[in-house]
Amino acid sequence: FTRPIDLGVLIDQIDQMTQRTISEPYTVLIVDDSPLMAEVYALALRAAGMQVIATTDPLEAPTLLAEQQPDLILLDVYMPGCSGQELAAVIRQQPEYHSIPIVFLSGETDRSAQLAALARGGDDFLTKPINLEHLVAAVSSRIQRARAIRSLMVRDGLTGLFNHSVSQDLLTREVARARRNGQPLSVVLIDIDHFKQVNDRHGHQMGDRVLKSLARLLRQRLRTTDVIGRYGGEEFLVVMPDTRAASAAMVIDSLRERFAHIEHQREGEPLRVTFSAGVAEWSLGMDTGSLLEKADAALYQAKNQGRNLVVI
Ligand code: GH3
Ligand code: MG
Ligand code: MG
Ligand code: MG
């Protein structure tokens, strides 16, 4: 006698594990006026599997920060031209860098100078001579925590997809990119059909399970360059760069068919659920708002024409 395996729970666990293990290597920006010291730190961090960008010129740091998007900054306190404290203050003035950890490196043992550096936006202070094992441990634990916090702020808790405001920001970024490079861009709004009935008849927990299974399907079948977000309760937003509306609609329609065949309940009364979708392609003169309105109008038509449909 063996207990039946709950496939839904198992798949969720596998999803969570793979999301945790498939992650990019940690990237660290080192700013130290001593090339020798920068190289020593870089060697230690690289040996631990991290990517390192190093500069001896503090004035170059803002450009490297914007271009390389590091996970953490190691900052020497004493540098000619611009001190580490000054640089930290400049970096912290930009909202997009508020959450990036800054760790100071210095031979300074004076307590008040250390506190001043922390007050300018630093997170930690390592005193020279620096133990390289300590450096690697301090850097990796800070990056790990920063990434976890960022993912909490960016992802929807139930489905693991981007939340409403992040998906909208990413859409705005793709609109700007399409305007620049002249490549097509399509947007899809997906809304589950009669979802209130699913909750009413099968319970809220089953409703949640349906939401997770649609999220999983979208993640598995769409490109990694597509943006997939939970736009509202049972509404999802998909942003497809370099894609014309006709191809986007074909892809979403095959997902629609696949989703409609999923058996959400293994015992008792069978439960199948469908969704409707509206597709819109960006054209010159449209902004994020008008593009979403166009997709919403198409979705409204899909609902009006009987649901379980994809409309352009
Ligand atoms: P339509 O086909 O016209 O879209 O009908 P509908 O029932 O899907 O639409 P309606 O907007 O009336 O209902 C949406 C329901 O989605 C109501 C709400 O309780 C449910 N819902 C929203 N968020 C969640 C959630 O996180 N979990 C669950 N289980 N239900 C949710
Ligand atoms: Mg120095
Ligand atoms: Mg809805
Ligand atoms: Mg609905």
Tens of pLDDT, residues 230-278: 999 999 999 999 999 999 999 999 999 999 999 998 788 889 999 999 9
Calculate the average pLDDT of the chain.
Answer: 90
* Between 99 and 133, residue with greater pLDDT: 133
CA pair distance 274, 192, nearest whole angstrom: 6
Q: Is 234 a catalytic residue?
A: yes
8 A C-beta contact, residue 34 and residue 76 = yes
Instruction: Please write down the HEC assignment for all residues of the chain.
Output: CCCCCCHHHHHHHHHHHHHHHCCCCCEEEEECCCHHHHHHHHHHHHHCCCEEEEECCHHHHHHHHHHHCCCEEEEECCCCCCCHHHHHHHHHCCHHHCCCCEEEEECCCCHHHHHHHHHCCCCEEEECCCCHHHHHHHHHHHHHHHHHHHHHHHECCCCCCECHHHHHHHHHHHHHHHHHHCCCEEEEEEEECCHHHHHHHHCHHHHHHHHHHHHHHHHHHCCCCCEEEEEECCEEEEEEECCCHHHHHHHHHHHHHHHHCCCCCCCCCCCCCCEEEEEEECCCCCCHHHHHHHHHHHHHHHHHCCCCCEEC
Distance CA 278, CA 81 (A): 55
Q: How confident is the model at residue 43 (pLDDT cuts 50, 70, 90)?
A: very high
Question: What digits encode the pLDDT tens for the residues 18-27?
Answer: 444 446 899 9
Q: Is the pLDDT of residue 10 over 80?
A: no
Q: What integer pLDDT is reported at residue 18 of this predicted model?
A: 44
pLDDT value of residue 171: 95
Mean predicted confidence (pLDDT) in 182-188: 97
pLDDT at 1 over 50: no
ipTM of the complex: 0.96
Where does the pLDDT of residue 8 fall: very low under 50, low under 70, confident under 90, or very high at 90 and above? low
Q: How confident is the model at residue 108 (pLDDT cuts 50, 70, 90)?
A: low
Ligand nearest the Cα atom of residue 308:
1
Percentage of the chain exceeding pLDDT 90: 73
- State yes or no: pLDDT of 198 exceeds 90: yes
Tokens of 306: 């009987």
Q: What is the mean pLDDT of residues 77-105?
A: 90
Q: Report the interhelical angle of 288-304 vs 164-181 (nearest 10°).
A: 110
Q: Looking at residue 21, what is its pLDDT?
A: 40
> What pLDDT, on the 0 to 100 scale, is given for residue 137?
96
234 C-alpha to ligand 1 centroid (Å)? 5
| pLDDT given for residue 23 in this prediction | 66
- Please identify which residue in the block is written with the tokens 């352009």: 312
CA dist 242 → 112, 169, 175, 181, 187 (Å): 54, 18, 11, 10, 11
pLDDT band, very low/low/confident/very high, at 80 (cuts 50, 70, 90): confident
**Which residue's CA is the nearest one to ligand 1's atom 22?**
233
152-156, 183-187, 208-212, 287-291 — which is least confidently predicted?
152-156
Tell me which range, 65-74, 148-157, 260-269, is most confidently predicted by mean pLDDT. Answer: 65-74
How far apart are the C-alpha atoms of 261 and 264, rounded to whole Å? Answer: 9
Task: Compute the CA torsion angle 247, 253, 254, 256 (nearest 10 deg).
Answer: 150
Q: Whose CA is nearest to atom 31 of ligand 1?
A: 233
The pLDDT of residue 183: 96
Per-residue pLDDT, averaged over 126-154, amounts to 91
Q: In this predicted structure, what is the pLDDT of residue 17?
A: 45
Choose among 121, 113, 64: nearest CA to 91: 121
Which residue has its alpha carbon closest to ligand 1 atom 15?
Answer: 196
196 lines ligand 1 (CB under 6 A): yes
Beta strands across the sheet bearing 51-55: 51-55, 27-31, 72-76, 102-106, 124-127
Ligand nearest to the CA of 30: 2
Q: Pick the catalytic residue: 86, 108, 174, 234? A: 234
- Taking every pair of C-alpha atoms in the chain, what is the biggest distance, in angstroms? 74
pLDDT score, position 95: 85
Paired sense of beta strands 310-311 and 275-281, if any: parallel
Q: How far is ligand 2, taken at its centre, from the CA of residue 76, in Å?
A: 6
pLDDT for residue 51 is more than 60: yes
Between β-strands 275-281 and 235-241, what pairing exists: parallel, antiparallel or unpaired? unpaired
Q: What is the pLDDT of residue 113?
A: 76
For residue 118, pLDDT over 80 is answered with: yes
Please state, for a pLDDT cut of 70, what percent of the chain lies above it: 92
